[in-house]
A and B are shown apart, each in its own frame.
Chain A
Amino acid sequence: MNIVVCVKYVPDAQAERTFNASDSTTDRVNVDGLLSELDEYAVEEALKIVEAGEGEVTVLTIGPDEASDAIKKALQMGADKGVHVIDDAIHGSDALATSLLLAKAIEKIGVPDLIVTGMSSTDGIMGVVPTMLAERLGLPAVTFASELTVGSGTVSARRDGDVASQTIEAALPALVSVTDQINEPRYPSFKGIMAAKKKAVETWTLADLGVSADEVGLDAAWTKVTSFEARPPRAKGTIVKDEGDGGAKLAGFLAERKFI
């Protein structure tokens, strides 16, 4: 079974994330970036499926030069090859444009049996690109999988919702997005790190995908950020030490604020 895993290079959530003042896009250059943590689960799941049978895992990303780090990490974990879509005209693309580019790249790779993604990115956290991608490719999407079983011609997943734990089944080819509950992503081994250096990474531009520059990027985006503002730090609150009366003081505060 061949699998494509879509991954994203994101600013480190532990760092001070910010925007580019000139065009209100996410700053992806001046903040340390990495493979989105939530995508590691997708890479791991794809590797497990292929290791249990046969086939290969292709890791696909869109982003600036630095985004090759995300591919490298996935290759070190064990993915077989990488595709990096890179073009200056892509800067500022929104979810619709991103899903368009992913769809075109996957068509060029050849629509695989299974597309695996994380549940969302850790920067934009919209969580809609997987579903948009499935819609563009005319595929069923099984989202937020916490357990995955691939059968012949079908994929089934457990999804833990608020009111029920569901088992969902879809016909292949399909797209699956996985949660951080599904597995424990491996760390790249020394052997994996060495092997990754020899793995092929193709870089494709918009022209390679047959997408014109005016279909993507900031100017073509379907949405526009009109302003961004750092939230003011919260005013320093009252902190008391419990000296046998902490609970009563807490209840007193809640009464004062009319919660009780």
Chain B
Amino acid sequence: MAEVLVLVDHVDGALRKTTTELLTIARRLGEPSAVFIGSGFDAAKEGLAAYGAEKVYRIDADLSGFLVVPQAEALAAVAAQASPAAVLVASSPEGKEIAARLAVKLGSGLITDAVDVQSDGAGGVSTTQTVFAGSYTVKATVTKGTPVIAVKPNSAAPEAVAGAAAEVTVPFEPSALAQSAKIVSAKPKEKTGRPELTEAAIVVSGGRGTGGDFSKVEAFADSLGAAVGASRAAVDAGWYPHSHQVGQTGKQVSPQLYVACGISGAIQHRAGMQTSKTIVAVNKDEEAPIFELVDFGVVGDLFAVLPQATDAVAAAKA
């Protein structure tokens, strides 16, 4: 069976959930091979084996401080060696950039933002994407080269399957171009202890209706173990950081539960959350377009509704 390469998404060897999702998808298409770049290999290896990686390609170069070019070069080097049936990466901004450079290098078709990937039964892949602010579902396939697919988080339930995780070290030397762009400094964001927005099972978002006070939104999110999002209006007003913006120009999320608080539901916002499984809204304006999307809606003041709901959730969990 042909190998399917999975670029391991990790922080110093701690696997991100997307990696186990990608390994699970890779198993549908062929034999999963993980490609590990960076530090923390020993910590990562066990997790990769537990989710079915039969091989683990290890790139030993220290690429910290560089942007995506060396990772694309390293992945291309592994692809040349493995002749894979497909290459899967996480559909994050960084993952998509790596995929873009890789697709040009391999002369291969690229599909991004896939929410499902299946075998087409003829050795190829069939992907599913949602487009035009979630109003259409599109199925697509790659017709030339090695399919390179960027897959969104939460696109598969990770399945634990033992894999051999046979280690293959790949010698690698980044090119001059790879070194022409560098991260010269980085200021870490304050840690909130909340889950990452795009990976969270539950997202609670606030908009214009918060008037800039996100405390009730955050308290409700914390009662549910949720990530906190914000509408563009709230971000543009400077009430919440841009990295939390849900919408066309922010994050596209697809959680099990999305709670929109004081958000009217403009197309810009819908583009980022319309594919959520269950949608709940709290808004003072009963005419707000967000109510067209919801499974459950409360017409009311979020400053009254959310604290009561927060207490009820806490009581139910106690």
Residues of A within 8 A of B (CB): 13-14, 17-19, 24, 38, 94-96, 99, 119, 122-129, 131-132, 134-136, 138-144, 146, 156, 160-171, 174, 179-181, 221-231, 233-235, 237-242, 244-255, 257, 259-260
Contacts and interface: CB of A to CB of B under 8 A. Distances in A.
Interface stretch (B26-34, B127-135, B205-213): B127-135
Given A165-B189, A231-B134, A131 B100 contact: yes
A160 B242 contact: yes
19 contacts: A17-B132, A18-B132, A99-B104, A128-B103, A135-B72, A135-B100, A140-B69, A141-B181, A164-B188, A170-B181, A230-B135, A231-B130, A237-B297, A245-B308, A246-B309, A251-B308, A251-B309, A251-B313, A260-B317
B133 to A, nearest CB: 7
Contact of A132 (B104, B138, B196, B299): B104
Contact of A246 (B100, B130, B293, B300): B300
B101 interface: yes
A101 to B, nearest CB: 13
B132 A239 contact: no
A247 B249 contact: no
A239 B291 contact: yes
Contacts of A170: 180-182
Contacts of B183: 166-168
Given A126-B113, A221-B109, A246-B304, 16 more contacts: A99-B104, A126-B110, A127-B96, A128-B103, A134-B101, A141-B97, A168-B67, A168-B183, A228-B131, A231-B134, A237-B291, A238-B297, A241-B298, A245-B308, A247-B307, A250-B305
Contacts of A221: 109, 143
B110 A128 contact: yes
Contact of B296 (A134, A161, A237): A237
Interface of chain A, helix or strand or loop or mixed? mixed
B112 interface: yes
- Going nearest first, the 6 A-B pairs with the smallest beta carbon separation are A247-B308, A242-B300, A222-B109, A251-B312, A247-B309, A140-B181
Interface of B: 11, 67-69, 72, 93, 96-97, 99-101, 103-105, 107-113, 126, 130-145, 177, 180-189, 196-197, 202, 224, 241-243, 248-249, 256-257, 267-268, 271, 278-280, 282, 286, 291-301, 304-313, 316-317
Contacts of A38: 249
Given A119-B249, A160-B241, A222-B109, A239 B308 contact: no
B210 to A, nearest CB: 16
Given A174-B181, A237-B295, A242-B298, A96 B110 contact: yes
Interface of chain B, helix or strand or loop or mixed? mixed
A167 B184 contact: yes
Given A126-B112, A165-B187, A167-B185, A239 B299 contact: yes
A13 B138 contact: no
B304 A242 contact: yes
A207 to B, nearest CB: 23
B202 A259 contact: yes
B183 to A, nearest CB: 5
A243 to B, nearest CB: 8
Contact of A140 (B11, B180, B185, B257): B180
Task: With a 10 A CB-CB cut-off, give which of A138, A228, A238 has the most chain B CB atoms.
Answer: A228
A231 B136 contact: yes
Nearest to A219: B143
A41 to B, nearest CB: 10
Contacts of A242: 298-301, 304-305
B94 to A, nearest CB: 8
Nearest to A235: B295
A126 B96 CA distance: 8
Nearest to A238: B296
A253 B296 contact: yes
A180 B305 contact: no
Contact of A250 (B188, B267, B309): B309
Given A251-B312, A253-B280, A132 B103 contact: yes
A171 B257 CA distance: 44
A221 B72 CA distance: 22
Contacts of B126: 226
A18 B133 CA distance: 11
A223 B180 contact: no
Nearest to A220: B144
B186 A166 contact: yes
B142 A222 contact: yes
A127 B298 contact: no
A197 B240 CA distance: 42
Nearest to B244: A162
A162 B181 contact: no
Contacts of A139: 177
A109 to B, nearest CB: 20
